[in-house]
Amino acid sequence: MASIGPAAAAARDAFRERMEAKGHAVENAREAVAGLEAAFDRGSLVRTPLLDQMLGDLMVALEQDEGQKLGGKSAEAARFILRAIARELENA
């Protein structure tokens, strides 16, 4: 069952705002995930198995070696996975 109430709605809205913010897709993705993790920790949203899988996939797309810049395929993958997470948040 999806989380309800003002805190859940605010967490979903904040995720979407971070996801759609101007700037680099990879940095936006990191910020969106940090906000989402905070919402899980507060209990505003419930982590679903599918969200766990998507977040794991996103973290792989965002991995980088020290000093390496991510772009191109990483940014495209991040945007794709973030859209999927946004849809799944309705069940969180």
Quote the CA–CA distance of 37 and 65 in Å, as a whole number: 23
Question: Span 66-77, mean pLDDT?
Answer: 63
For 6-44, the pLDDT digits (tens) are 999 999 999 999 988 898 777 888 899 999 999 999 999
DSSP 1-48: ----SHHHHHHHHHHHHHHH-SS-HHHHHHHHHHHHHHHHHHTSS---
Q: What is the reported pLDDT for 69?
A: 54
SS3 68: coil
DSSP secondary-structure letter at 91?
Answer: G
Q: Is the pLDDT of residue 59 over 80?
A: yes
pTM: 0.80
Task: Give me the residue spans of the domains in the chain.
Answer: 6-91
